[in-house]
Structure 1
Amino acid sequence: MSTDLSISSLYNIKGKIALVTGGGSGIGKMIAEGLAKNGAKVYIAARKEAQLKAAAEEINKTSAGKVDYIVANIASKAGVDALIAEFRKRESKLHILVNNSGITWGAPFDNFPEAKGWDNIFAVNVKSIFYMTSGLVDLLEKDSTNADPARVINISSVAGIEAESEGSLSDAGNGVWSYNTSKAAVNHLTSQLAITLVRRHINVNAILPGLFPSKMTAFGFKTVGSDNFAASQPTGRYGHTEDMAGTALFLVSPASAHVTGNHIILDGGSRLLAQRVTGQVKL
């Protein structure tokens, strides 16, 4: 039997059904756009309907696939369950789950709030990943085989492997201790889920982005300036839509059928030069 190594075969996701949390903006929208433009049927979910509607309409104008949306708040298990219940009304199977929703909180080290600073961060960034994945596992494994497994992508961050909690993305005197810790937890949870689900033909991997434009990094871009940010990066630029979409496309395509339990760092090498100083910008 001959093996088809053409790009059209290795990266074919036409007809796949995907669900992307936090898909109305930033990294989630980048991934949703990449999937839809390559023929997948994509559902994006988030709290703000206007943002979801605008994103879906924009992507649908130029995509081979279709984007629809579900309004949801996954800061609690009840919210996750409501999203899953609504998805089940629309689809009987799921091929791709992207756990992208994430939030951050910055505050002084000696006055860091418990509820908003720790509890809510872990609820959205970590707990929702577990409950989204476990709650949809029967739909994920429905069509899956070892040659064509279902895919789960967890969006983590290079912050999960870095120890610096104070920097240009947080206001002066503030740190994001809970955010970094939550992303380290996402990395470990990804490995746990990969082990748990591999025999059910569900691949689980994490993408660890560095600097990408998003709502979460908007403060830093405004404060430091996009040109200064770009100059401070080893590659001379920050992450673009095609970088994120391309990485996600690999992780959900036939090309990565044998890839699970991996943490893919997507930062242009910035973690290797974390102490580099360009002008007044330190990353």
Structure 2
Amino acid sequence: MASNDQASNNNSEFRLDNLFSTKGKLALVSGGGSGIGLMISQALAVNGAHVYIFSRSEKVRLVAETYNKGDISGKITALQGDVTSKESIKSLVEEYSKHEDRLDILVNNSGIAGSKVNFSTNSVEELSNNLFNSDTFENWEEVMRTNVSSAYFVSAAFLPLLNKSSETQKGWSATILNVTSISGSVKITQHHPAYNCSKAAANYLTKSLANELNLNGFKIRVNAVAPGVFGSEMTAGGSSANQKSKIENDKYKSLPSGRVGDDKDMAQAALFLILDQYVNAQSIIVDGGYQVNHGQ
């Protein structure tokens, strides 16, 4: 029978501040200047992580200035970087390495929606025309480059620093979190086929990269969070002065949740995937029940 001291110690493992603390962790988030990237960055920093956010835009510096205040036990630092350029990614690794000698958490969040195509027609000739003339090879290439290839190359570039994290911290495996989308698993195109195909590819990348790292003996987990409708510059068309985006719930009342996703919904999902050391190669859907009616 366990002693009272042992029972007390075991019970403490279930405290929320032990289950979801990122105290002392080092994170890097692409596209951390708005939307879901900002939500995840805040969740990590408030719970103790030093979060480096980067994008091509100067808005990451505004985020660092705005959200380093108040009830935050960690820190947010802004860097510049373009996920679609190998030279920029290499420069980012060099810049990050001036500050830190390991990376505990990598979040590949950057993404674009690309062009829309009208699939609603009663004429096969009109549908053919819409699909062929309303879209371009350049759009598909840009969407795939930003939503899939970037996650591959950023992850590859930071593998040595991620591996250093696992090697130097007992009981911890470094983690890569890819932000994909329910658009990668639903059967409808939602009028942006390039985007949906890119998100399906990002889900595959998650599983395949996790597998290859494991086969090579590296203790680095790779998971994905696949959001439904959340406020972001992509879904809302812009953001406010504090880099937050708002979507009205009225058009989403049909969801089982009756509303769109909020910051806390994303924070809970991301922290679970990042911190649960027993979860690997998974794509977790967080969509308010959208796929109850629109799934495969």
Query: TM-score, normalised to structure 1's length?
Result: 0.87
Q: Tell me if the contact between 1:80 and 1:128 (Cα under 8 Å) persists in the aligned partners.
A: no
Aligned position for 2:150: 128
**Partner residue of 1:213 out of 231, 238, 261:** 231
Does the 8 Å contact 1:104/1:216 carry over to 2? Answer: yes
2:206 pairs with 1:190? yes
Instruction: After TM superposition, give the deviation of residue 23 of structure 1 in Å.
Output: 0.2
Higher mean C-alpha deviation, range 22-31 or range 80-89: 80-89
SS, match of residue 136 in structure 1 = helix
The equivalent residue for 2:243 is none
The letter for the 2-side match of 1:44 is I
C-alpha contact 1:32 1:44 (8 A) present in aligned 2: yes
Tell me how far apart the structure 1 counterparts of residues 100 and 238 of structure 2 sit (CA, whole Å).
39
Query: Contact between 1:76 and 1:124, CA under 8 Å: does it hold in 2?
Result: no
Q: Paired residue for 2:188? A: 164
What are structure 1's unaligned runs of at least 5 residues?
167-174, 276-283
Q: Which among 22, 47, 56 is matched to residue 38 of structure 1?
A: 47
2:274 aligned with 1:252, yes or no? yes
- In 2, the alpha carbon distance for the partners of 1:227 and 1:183 equals 24
Structural mapping, 1:265-276, within 5 Å: 265-274=285-294
Matched, 1:155 2:179: yes
1:191–1:237 CA distance, 2 compared to 1 (3 A)? same
- Quote the residue 1:180 is aligned against: 196
Correspondence for 1:114 among 108, 131, 137: 137
Q: Determine the C-alpha separation between the residues in 2 that align with 1:24 and 1:18.
A: 14
Percentage of identical aligned residues: 39
Kept in 1, the 8 Å contact 2:249–2:258? The answer is no
User: 2:218 aligned with 1:200, yes or no?
Assistant: yes
Which aligned segments of 4 or more residues in structure 1 are displaced greater than 6 angstroms? none
Q: How many residues align?
A: 260
TM-score (norm 2): 0.83
Structure 2, unpaired ranges of 5+: 1-5, 118-130, 240-246
| CA deviation vs aligned residue, 1:106-164 (integer Å, no higher than 9, x gap) | 2332221111x111111111111111111111111113167210011000000000122
Q: 22, 39, 42: which is aligned to 2:31?
A: 22
C-alpha distance in structure 2 between counterparts of 1:229 and 1:71, whole Å: 36
Separation in 2 of the partners of 1:231 and 1:204?
33
In structure 2, the CA distance between the partners of 1:131 and 1:42, relative to structure 1 (3 Å rule), is same
Aligned Cα root-mean-square deviation (Å): 1.9
